[in-house]
Amino acid sequence: MDLNDDPQQAAFRAQVRGWLDEHKAEAPIVLGEGQIEDEHERIEAWRGWQRKLAEGGLCGVTWPEEFGGAGKGPIEQVIVNQELARAKVPGALDFIGLGMMGPAIIVHGTEEQKRRYLGPMLHGDEVCCQLFSEPAAGSDLAGVTARAVEQEDGSFKISGQKVWTTNAQFSAFGVLLARTDADVPKHKGLTMFIVPMDAPGITIRGLRQISGEAEFNEVFLDDVHVPADTVLGQVGNGWGTALTVLMFERLSIGTTSIGYSAERFAAGVKSAPGAQEDPEVRQRLGHIGTEMIASRFAGHRLLSDLAGGQLPGPEFGLGKVTVVKSAIDAGDLIADVLGPDALDEGSEWGYMISFLPGLKSAGGTEEILRNTIGERVLGLPPEPRSDKGVPFSELKARENEKVA
């Protein structure tokens, strides 16, 4: 595989770099040292920066031109990401909407939904959040219990609880997975909805993280009324729509360096006195570097598949597992060699070390992804399942009996 830019890609990179060189002085500091302290001001500044990126063609790079995107391929998206990192400026505020929810709407949405949501999402006017996980349904996403009850006029009333919802506190709408039929097996009775986050009956509570931030939230829905045209995809086909979102989520994590590279980690380790001469440190760093470099090239291979028209499949989850695990291992190593100073708020590494473990659950836990890859990619025997073909209502009845 040729990893160098071809002439068209080189021209695109030069265009992106030129635009960023011209405009990077306008970028706000939204993360790390010197960031805007007031959350509202920071979000509004970041929203404005996303709008500017969109005007420069650097948001929705792979979106079709008819929806405001650049109509480019995944390799061009990586070029944009690389040049943003080179210029040391933030990317889009709504990375969830642009990278996961927008593509799901493009694939499964009606023409009216595409016109209504994609433009405001692209320009940062409306941020989108993902209402999937629940306190008892995260890794086993098909076990969600949030209920959407259809009304006589075709509308729905939704009740339940969601958790670990990033950006819910300033999102205009969320893509929500709910159960519309409990009398069929759990994967078949689900439906996806596009829900306004200011709808009556929605309560949002922030969840404080070890980093001190409250990027995640728990969301409560109490008889939230939504019209029939908020269904994304088909009623009862929510699992298929959810898989589209999850595949793009795993792809977005697995084909990036999440802001850190093997070279940057190595520099951090070498800054500790005596670390370079310690054989255990050298061995751990060599292993981490090997994993991260291998992930980088595996990401290039996946990008080639995408450029050839292949949709993200189960194998894309392996990149997510490897990238996140290697970065967490690197953070542990840096904490070991630098000591408590590595966790200081002013440290280059403090936020990363406290934030990265949360990514282990994003897009599915490592255990679930390994099972999926083993079964669907390697053809290994599936784990025994007692829920296969059983109506969801009967599964819940069994759980209630055990509790009683």
pLDDT in tens, 221-270: 999 999 999 999 999 999 999 988 877 776 666 555 555 677 888 888 88
Look-up of token digits 């069929």: 184
Choosing from 76, 218, 249, 315, which is the catalytic residue? 249
Dihedral (CA of 239, 244, 247, 253) sign = negative
Q: Average per-residue pLDDT in the chain?
A: 87
59: helix, strand or coil: coil
Angle between helices 74-87 and 279-307 in degrees, nearest 10: 140
Residue pLDDT, tens place only, 18-72: 999 999 999 999 876 788 888 899 999 999 999 999 999 999 998 999 999 999 8
Long-range Cβ contact pairs of 7-13 (< 8 A, separation 24 or more): 9/75, 9/76, 9/79, 12/72, 12/76, 12/79, 13/79, 13/83
**What are the backbone dihedrals phi and psi of residue 130, each rounded to the nearest 5 degrees, phi first?**
-115, 110
User: Residue 175 forms beta bridges with which residues?
Assistant: 130, 194
Helix, strand, or coil (residue 379): coil
Task: Please give the average per-residue pLDDT across 344-373, as a whole number.
Answer: 77
pLDDT at 324: 83
Which residues is 156 bridged to in the sheet?
Answer: 150, 226
pLDDT above 70 covers a percentage of the chain that reads 89
Instruction: In whole angstroms, give the CA distance from residue 141 to residue 136.
Output: 9
Query: φ, ψ for residue 128 (rounded to 5)?
Result: -115, 140
Beta strands 156-162 and 202-207: pairing type?
A: unpaired
Instruction: Assess whether pLDDT exceeds 70 at residue 388.
Output: yes
Q: What value, to the nearest 5°, has the Cα angle with vertex 16 and ends 101 and 68?
A: 40
The Cα–Cα gap between 399 and 388 comes to 15
* Secondary structure class of 174 (helix, strand, coil): strand
249 as an active site residue: the answer is: yes
Rounded Cα gap, residues 136 and 142, in angstroms: 11
Contacts of 185 (CB under 8 A, 6+ apart): 387, 388, 389, 390, 391, 392
- The H-assigned helical ranges of 88-202 are 95-96, 102-108, 111-122
The closest of 323, 322, 252, 316 to 94, measured between CA atoms, is: 252
* Contact between 90 and 30 (Cβ < 8 Å): yes
In tens, the pLDDT along 2-23 reads 567 889 999 999 999 999 999 9
pLDDT at 102 over 80: yes
Over residues 189-198, the pLDDT tens digits come to 999 999 999 9
Q: What confidence score (pLDDT) does residue 313 get?
A: 66
Neighbours of 204 (CB within 10 A): 18
Mapping DSSP to helix (H, G, I), strand (E, B) and coil, where does residue 110 land? coil
| pLDDT interval class at 147 (50, 70, 90) | very high
pLDDT, position 284: 93
Give me the phi and psi of 151, to 5 degrees please. -95, 170
> What is the C-alpha to C-alpha distance for residues 246 and 103, in angstroms, rounded to an integer?
11
pTM of the predicted model, to two decimals? 0.83
d(CA 60, CA 25): 22
pLDDT computed for residue 226 by the predictor: 98
Phi/psi for 94 (5° steps) reads -95, 65
Q: What is the mean pLDDT of residues 181-203?
A: 96
- How far apart CA 116 and CA 42 sit, in angstroms, is 26
